[in-house]
Chain A
Amino acid sequence: MIRVDVTGKSFGGSPVLGPCRFDIASGECLALTGPSGIGKTTLLRIVAGIDDSFSGQVERPDNIAMVFQEPTLLLWRSVIENLTLIHPDLSRSEALDMLARVGIADKAELFPTQLSLGQQRRLTLARAFAGRPEFLIMDEPLVSLDHDTAQSMLRLIEELIAATEPAVLFVTHTLSDAERLATRILELRGSPATPSELSRKDIL
């Protein structure tokens, strides 16, 4: 169970986030939406434990994984090393299996700079799921991808989530993506921003 109880977050004295309280149960997928600049990524980074300067507390498991907005890969290490260095317990054959699941096994010895953006994002998914995380955080994982690539990535994310069953928190601008992946949708609104749950009726 992930328990988020943020009472506030400010940048340079100006409040960005107001009270944000929600739980994510194991196997549950929570989507976070809202207009650009409202504070979605800020809240995500607080929940992930990257940003410590906030009021409140967050309970999260140790084994977490994150898919960043940008691929955030080790560009100077090979594709397979991007898995084995981050997950030292992963054997080479397990890493190759994981790359095969995301469809880039034949790129294992290349550098990430030799991959397309879509392939780099597949690699970040492989990296996230390779550690079988209890809690997966994704910050707009489909941003900057063309429609077909985004759809195949979405299918891949669905498959990997079904196989691994982590608790998931992801940020998206696209309500259709949120509807497809998420069991619940939270929208950040107002200033300072606070979350409110969207029902199916709100979305329609």
Chain B
Amino acid sequence: MTDRSAITALSLLGLLIFWSLAAWITGDPQILPSPVSLVAPLLAEIRSGELPYHLGHTLLRVIWAFLLAMTLGTILGLAMGRNERLNRWLDPWLVVFLNLPALVLIVLCYLWIGLNETAAIAAVTLNKIPNVATVIREGARSMDRELDAMARIYRLPFRTRLRHIQLPQLAPFIAASARSGVAVIWKIVLVVEFLGRSNGIGFQIHLYFQLFDVGMVLIYALSFIAVMLVIEWGILQPWERRVTRWRAA
């Protein structure tokens, strides 16, 4: 085990000890159950298929919203960063959407589109696009203009320019917005599910909130945090290392 992963493991262990101590001091499992006491109900939820079912629905919504927001946000940010005239026209829209509370967009999407999957994913996507576009726009502005000149001189086709010149320069910005994006998106997905879906982690949290079952709320929330950590460490961080390996070479 490397020093870095040992520190991460120890840090998480410290959090568990802190939680156990807090549960012991509180002395009321209904307010704050200890981590150990959650193991049995967690296993029961997995065996019954409830947890995988709701986890799967939330994950699917996160993936859809993430892919849509990253694709549309990257296109918008790239276009605005490269075209000052377009940026002047669209910048006020970006400011409006950046300051529009997530809850308002969610409610409006449900009211306009209906209480369905399209509205749920659209609401999350629309919430995230302005953040992605803002970060990517900064990336597009910092791109090397001499490489554009080189591409023009050698008459490189659009696909080559995009894939081998522009996207590699944007990679650190895409990675930054993807990592912050995935964390924000799943939190918004939970609100969307809380307000208007009949499955998913948010729906289950809503259910157990009404039953005042803190243990189950924690089980569902922590299960999804575990999934997100696996995505962060298993997909996003290795991808970021791969696209930036030339810097370390």
Contacts and interface: CB of A to CB of B under 8 A. Distances in A.
Contacts, number: 51
Contacts of B241: none
User: DSSP majority for the B interface?
Assistant: helix
Given A49-B152, A50-B149, A114 B164 contact: no
Contacts of A72: 144, 146-147, 149-150
A76 B160 contact: no
A198 B206 CA distance: 84
B247 interface: yes
Interface residues of A, number: 25
Interface in B231-249: 243, 246-247, 249
B247 A65 contact: no
B154 A50 contact: no
Contacts of B164: 74, 77, 85
B249 A86 contact: no
A66 B153 contact: yes
Interface residues of B, number: 19
A70 interface: yes
Interface in A51-82: 62, 64-66, 68, 70, 72, 74-77
B168 interface: yes
B247 A113 contact: yes
Contacts of A27: none
Given A68-B146, A113-B249, A114-B249, A50 B160 contact: no
A75 B144 CA distance: 11
A149 to B, nearest CB: 22
B165 interface: yes
A85 B150 contact: no
Contacts of A22: none
Contacts of B165: 74
B88 interface: no
Given A85-B160, A85-B164, A76 B246 contact: yes
Nearest to A77: B164
Contact of A74 (B149, B153, B168, B247): B168
Nearest to B169: A76
Most buried by B among A70, A72, A110: A72
Interface string B158-173: 0010001100100100
A64 B246 contact: no
Contacts of A68: 146, 149-150
A138 to B, nearest CB: 12
